[in-house]
């Protein structure tokens, strides 16, 4: 399906499905709501973010009503270049005219992602700056599409690539960077397919795919030693491939390409080494100019992906215990608080297991910390093998572990605890047998993180009092 933005003399043809994806990606990347009208003031795209914002402003009424439509038509009709407006329901937004003085394409509205009155001057300036960046990006992309569609020129590709690259390098969330890269390339080059694979150890794993059958590529893995992958990374320039050459990679077996389709695969290099690769299939040749422009974009994309990947790794390391891979104590409190709220909201049961390895200090003192680390790692593995994927395990500190079991009554949690106890007791640890004491508590109405953990801890203490290698269920 195609829709058309109309201006005074010319028609701008834009695939609405791809445009909405691109617009939504920009909205998520910038945490702003975006809406576009054509030159006659009629809606071109829908709001990018959920309708809760307007429903909230609208006091629970419909997203759009006659008052809203009249307001936007009037605003578009009287807008010179840009303005800051307040809708009939009090929502502040920035309005821009798209196109040039000679060629009016349409109108852009940018609103906050949440209901705010922007009363603080600093908050208002920050929002205006964000809205202006969005305007520059959208205006350049529309202009590039217009010029390419009607005049066959690609000069403005560079401008739109510059604007998107500027936004891209300011985003740290990996998923949003991937979305912005693929959606923007689909729009700028009207590509049939775009995919990004990220390096994970000794393989490339496809993290994002857009366009024809793009989603089917996500998750496919290609070894770095695969002859085609080795060939792609044997140089810094892109490789031009035929569809027959690409079919040797998992995910492309049944893929076909129309005659004239140009398939380019770019290796993503940074100073840190291989980040991944980016592939694009366009219905017409990019030409020398288009290829050079795209190479500039690819260079920005490689840096943005490297930054986002590094930040994601640091965030994960900050949340997990390096020895066991479980969540650490700091994150546990937030996770447990969220699970308590969810259980209370939806009315389901939830239980917690508090586990302590018996006489671990004596084991450490006798056999050394390295041997103690082996016990902790193996114990974590035994716990992981005894619980569901929906359960959440945490190293609480030292030799203490917490397991959160959503949707589980205390009695059923005790069965899980007993399974863990037995698996530890019977595992052939080096040096001597290892046992653990466990306490189980079921969450009660109005339980806090501290009160629930305190009851589970007390039950574990009772298990110790009974001679260790026991489990106790909190009776309250």
Strand partners, 12: 5
Question: Under a CB-based contact definition with an 8 Å cutoff, are residues 218 and 201 in contact?
Answer: no
d(CA 323, CA 239) in angstroms, rounded, equals 41
d(CA 241, CA 228) in angstroms, rounded, equals 10
φ, ψ for residue 304 (rounded to 5)? -65, -40
Question: Under a CB-based contact definition with an 8 Å cutoff, are residues 46 and 38 in contact?
Answer: no
Q: Show the tokens assigned to 237.
A: 């320039």
Strand partners, 320: 327
d(CA 369, CA 366) in angstroms, rounded, equals 9
Residues found in the chain:
476
Q: Show the tokens assigned to 445.
A: 């109405």
Q: Show the tokens assigned to 287.
A: 């030409």
Q: Which of 367, 343, 375, 315 is nearest to 446 (CA)?
A: 343
Q: Of the residues 179, 399, 400, 418, which is catalytic?
A: 399
Q: Is 399 a catalytic residue?
A: yes
- Name the one residue in this structure whose structure tokens are 């605003």: 75
**DSSP 8-state code for residue 168:** H
Q: Show the tokens assigned to 455.
A: 């009851």
**3-state DSSP assignment of residue 412:** helix
d(CA 150, CA 200) in angstroms, rounded, equals 42
Torsion of CA 51, 55, 61, 64, to 10 degrees: -50
Question: Under a CB-based contact definition with an 8 Å cutoff, are residues 411 and 473 in contact?
Answer: yes
- The count of C-alpha atoms lying within 13 angstroms of the C-alpha of 6, restricted to the half-sphere facing its C-beta, is 6
214: CB partners within 8 A, 6+ apart: 182, 193, 194, 195, 208
d(CA 189, CA 282) in angstroms, rounded, equals 7
Question: Under a CB-based contact definition with an 8 Å cutoff, are residues 139 and 96 in contact?
Answer: yes
- The count of C-alpha atoms lying within 13 angstroms of the C-alpha of 253, restricted to the half-sphere facing its C-beta, is 4
What is the Cα 264 distance to its own chain's centre?
26
Q: Which of 69, 280, 73 is nearest to 188 (CA)?
A: 280
> What is the set of active-site residues?
399
């Amino acid at each position: 399906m195609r829709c058309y933005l109309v201006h005074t003399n010319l028609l701008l043809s834009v695939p609405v499905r791809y445009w909405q994806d691109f617009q939504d990606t920009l909205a998520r990347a910038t945490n702003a709501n975006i809406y576009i009208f054509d030159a006659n003031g009629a809606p071109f795209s829908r709001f990018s973010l959920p309708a809760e914002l307007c429903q909230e402003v609208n006091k629970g009424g419909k997203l759009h009503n006659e008052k809203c439509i009249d307001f936007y038509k009037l605003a578009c009709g009287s807008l010179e270049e840009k303005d800051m407006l307040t809708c009939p329901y009090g929502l502040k937004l920035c309005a821009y005219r798209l196109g040039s003085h000679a060629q009016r394409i349409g109108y852009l509205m940018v609103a906050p992602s949440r209901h705010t009155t922007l009363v603080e001057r600093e908050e208002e300036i920050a929002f205006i700056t964000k809205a202006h960046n969005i305007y520059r990006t959208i205006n350049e992309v529309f202009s590039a599409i217009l010029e390419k569609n009607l005049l066959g020129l690609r000069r403005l590709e560079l401008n739109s690539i510059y604007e998107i690259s500027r936004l891209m390098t300011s985003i740290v969330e990996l998923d949003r960077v991937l979305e912005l890269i693929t959606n923007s390339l689909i729009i700028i080059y009207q590509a049939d397919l775009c995919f990004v694979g990220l390096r994970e150890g000794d393989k490339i794993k496809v993290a994002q795919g857009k366009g024809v059958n793009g989603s089917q590529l996500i998750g496919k893995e290609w070894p770095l030693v695969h002859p085609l992958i080795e060939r792609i990374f044997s140089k810094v320039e892109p490789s031009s491939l035929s569809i027959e050459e690409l079919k040797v990679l998992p995910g492309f077996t049944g893929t076909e390409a129309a005659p004239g389709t140009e398939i380019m695969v770019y290796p993503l290099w940074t100073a840190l080494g291989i980040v991944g690769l980016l592939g694009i299939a366009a219905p017409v040749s990019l030409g020398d100019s288009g290829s050079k422009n795209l190479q500039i974009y690819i260079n920005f994309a490689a840096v943005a992906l490297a930054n986002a990947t590094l930040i994601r790794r640091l965030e994960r390391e900050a949340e997990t215990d390096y020895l066991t891979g479980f969540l650490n104590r700091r994150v546990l409190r937030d996770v447990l608080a969220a699970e308590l709220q969810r259980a209370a909201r939806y009315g389901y049961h939830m239980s917690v297991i508090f586990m302590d390895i018996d006489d671990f200090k004596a084991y450490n003192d006798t056999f050394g910390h390295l041997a103690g680390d082996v016990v902790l790692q193996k114990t974590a593995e035994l716990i992981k093998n005894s619980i569901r994927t929906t359960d959440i395990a945490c190293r609480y500190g030292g030799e203490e572990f917490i397991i959160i079991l959503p949707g589980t009554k205390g009695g059923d949690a005790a069965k899980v605890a007993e399974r863990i106890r037995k698996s530890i007791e019977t595992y052939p640890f080096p040096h001597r047998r290892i046992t653990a004491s466990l306490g189980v508590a079921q969450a009660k109405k109005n339980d806090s993180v501290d009160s629930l953990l305190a009851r589970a801890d007390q039950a574990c203490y009772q298990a110790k009092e009974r001679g260790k290698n026991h489990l106790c269920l909190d009776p309250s």
